[in-house]
């Protein structure tokens, strides 16, 4: 009888140990998946998605753009870009100021850009600028001369990281 009880306790202990080992393996797998998601997220930050001759109209296929919440577009060489934010599933929009685009009498240039997405296919739906003149008004509203570079700045948060940041992981 004592041997039977002892075997029962040992069997239960072995079963608990196996269960604990499965839980530990699952925790390591979840941790590895989370670390991989974090690494993937940071690999996407500030990534050049497209660069080329001035894109003024029509559509471009920009691989990976659908993975971003924020992007930056550059209408001119040697000037800062303008940050655009996704404002629904298929649009990016934003505006900003760029210094030194034109002659010394122009203090700054204000740019507004909107992009329309269809998967990875992108169209410029709006691209205008206006130059504010020092000591005066401003020049006429003009179309930008094109976009020469698109950089993904802030990726969409993957589901696995949303669970962690929202306390569900």
Q: How confident is the model at residue 103 (pLDDT cuts 50, 70, 90)?
A: low
Question: Among 117, 101, 111, which Cα is nearest to 49's?
Answer: 117
pTM attached to this predicted model: 0.75
Q: Determine the average pLDDT of the residues in 107-129.
A: 89
In tens, the pLDDT along 29-39 reads: 877 778 888 88
In tens, the pLDDT along 70-95 reads: 999 998 887 888 999 999 889 999 99
* Spatial distance between the Cα atoms of 129 and 82, rounded to a whole number of angstroms: 11
Q: What is the dihedral of CA 118, 123, 124, 125, to 10 degrees?
A: -60
Grouping H, G, I as helix, E, B as strand and the rest as coil, residue 71 is strand
């Amino acid at each position: 009888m004592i041997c039977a009880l002892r075997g029962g306790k040992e069997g239960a202990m072995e079963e608990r140990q196996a269960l604990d080992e499965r839980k530990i393996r699952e925790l390591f797998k979840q941790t590895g998946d989370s670390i991989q998601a974090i690494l993937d997220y940071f690999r996407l930050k500030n990534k050049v998605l497209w660069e080329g001759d001035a894109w003024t109209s029509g559509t471009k296929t920009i691989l990976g753009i659908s993975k971003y919440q924020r992007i930056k577009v550059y209408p001119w060489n040697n000037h800062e870009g303008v940050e655009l934010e996704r404002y629904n599933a298929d649009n990016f929009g934003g505006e900003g100021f760029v210094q030194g685009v034109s002659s010394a009498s122009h203090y700054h240039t204000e740019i507004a850009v909107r992009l329309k997405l269809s998967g990875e296919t992108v169209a410029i739906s709006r691209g205008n600028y206006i130059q504010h003149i020092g000591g005066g008004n401003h020049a006429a509203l003009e179309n930008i001369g094109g976009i020469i570079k698109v950089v993904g700045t802030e990726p969409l948060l993957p589901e696995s990281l949303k669970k962690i940041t929202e306390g569900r992981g």
